[in-house]
Structure 1
Amino acid sequence: MTLTGIQKAALLLTTLDASTAADLLKGQPQQVVQKIAFELSELDLKGQTNTEQASEVVQQFFAELTRPQSGELHIKQFVNSLLQGSAGKEKAKELQNKMQQAVIQKDPFVIISDASPIHLASVLQNESPQAIAIVLSEISPKLGTEILSRLDEQKAQMTVWRMAQPATVSRQTVLRIGEMVHKRLAEMQSEQVEAGQTPEEDTSTANLRKIALVLGGLNKEKRDAFLETIEGKDDEAADMVRALMVTWEDIPRIEDKSLQEILRQVEVSTMAKSLQGADAIIAAKINGNISGRMKEMIEEEVSLMGTLKKKDIAEAREAMVQPLRDANKAGDLEFIEEDD
């Protein structure tokens, strides 16, 4: 990627500590500071800040320096410190808000691409296939795949068909759709906060999930040792990590043989409830690992069911996942090895 002068300046500043960078910017107009801070945010959100690029910039502008500082610094913290150090705390918040709005106006999909697949799919579920196709064309293929798997089958098929058609909408229309989706994502987050699900709680769960995924890749002996360490400090966190090692969404990652053995233990009514409204990938994995007779029994069970409450479906899925967790705890659950 060819960098502009402002982008090069932004990357150069990331090789310095925040206070030094702020000192360098103190004599600059606020417009310059805001432009550099904006580029830092945009490059980070697009995943375009890397050590190699920063090193090239340092060598280009500061070849006479023998050792640029190598300490890593989180971009968001850096921007915050940079703004406060150069403009003062009173102006920092105002500048940060302007930065965020500038990013959204220039390309709302930069922010959308960082959204949770679950939240984004929920927002898009009620949109037209054409609008969804536009959004999926602007985000990464990996995120797009996750979104498609969470849409109902008919809408997903229409969306893919729309994506295959020649583009007939203007860039302005694309950006308007992006702004609309971003606004609804923000409204959803606001509703979650009002309902008591705070961003801090969401982040805490996400962090525990990361720990669970890391420990899940270890052998049983090492995994148990780490869990005991966590348990010694926080019983609740240890229990949460154990639960997050195997979730409903992890079913496609389980080896067929392991899954088949567990599914034989699940009651037909429980499986029928859990499959209601299930993601296509998860449903296909389960259906591919049960007998034809079991499928017939599930279909018969579903035909006798009325409309299920979300709570009933969630409880059924939890009942299905629990024996998987038990098998994992015993070291008997095998996962599909992913390529690096």
Structure 2
Amino acid sequence: MAAQALATSGSTQPARKLSGVERAAIVMFALGDEHGAQVWEELDDDEVRDLSAAMSNLGAIDAITVEGLLVDFVSKLSAAGSLVGNAESTERLLSQFLPRDRVGQIMEEIRGPAGRNMWEKLSNVQETVLANYLKNEYPQTVAVVLSRIRVEQAARVLAILPEEFAVDVVRRMLAMDSVQKDILERIEKTLRVEFMAGLSQATRRDSHEQMAEIFNSFDRQTETRFLTKLEEASKESADRIRQLMFTFDDLGKLDSAGIQSVLRDAPREKLAVALKGASQTMRAFIMGNMSSRAAKMLADDVEAMGPVRLRDVDEAQMIIVNVAKDLASNGQITITKNKGEEELVY
């Protein structure tokens, strides 16, 4: 420390108490333009701003203080003989020159995947996969994990977890204070080693399945245009995508319990628009799985609607399809492209 160096230097002047950023400012002044240029290049915008402000407000610093600070700095390097570069030694060194909160931010970024990036990656994991892993963990561990990922992802995972378990997790999240650093690091390490590593080693998702989902999101004209072009280039790929796509007409392959679950969750106003562009077969199937009163009201809504843009019909049908997909991902219904896949052969 500069103050400690001054105390042993024989100076009769009282040592000026310097903050970490002020000590850094003195070092930068001492290095000058030529030797300090490379240091400035390594600083980010916040560090440059903080350091510049300290340098501007530093005022006059006597030579003994400058010398004591530099001697102390050099002595700490030479006393060790050799250097060990790790997170702990880096944090100790930064603490001598930068404010504590800034050091914390820098070290969190330096620690990489075990820090912020880890939670960003976890937030992008499919909620059913994450929930399936977390349901075997302690509720307190799950509470910590869900408190660190995106709220939208946490909500979807909670909805999938067993109800009593999920409620226990919610209670723990409500009562949670700041998580101790060593506990958080252990959880991060476990997730990285046991979960994320296993996830990355899993079989890569079929590219045709992924493309089928993209095509499902197209409006009808765009879907037809792309499939036609793709068929010219690769008929096999186009046929595979068609087989994998789940469309509004595929709702007709659900059993009665499945379609009734979809109809319960589907927005009524969107259902009427979706049926406006549906075939008579689909209309009959959907209305046949409703009460006579509800079916009549829906039929009246469809007839009273008048002309509807094809784009609006496509959008409404996609909303209904997504309701079915959400129910399927939660295990509430089973979606198949072909009823024959579920038939038993004797």
The interval holding the TM-score normalised by the smaller chain is 0.3 to 0.5
- State the structure with more CA Rg: 2
Question: How does the TM-score come out when normalised to structure 1?
Answer: 0.41
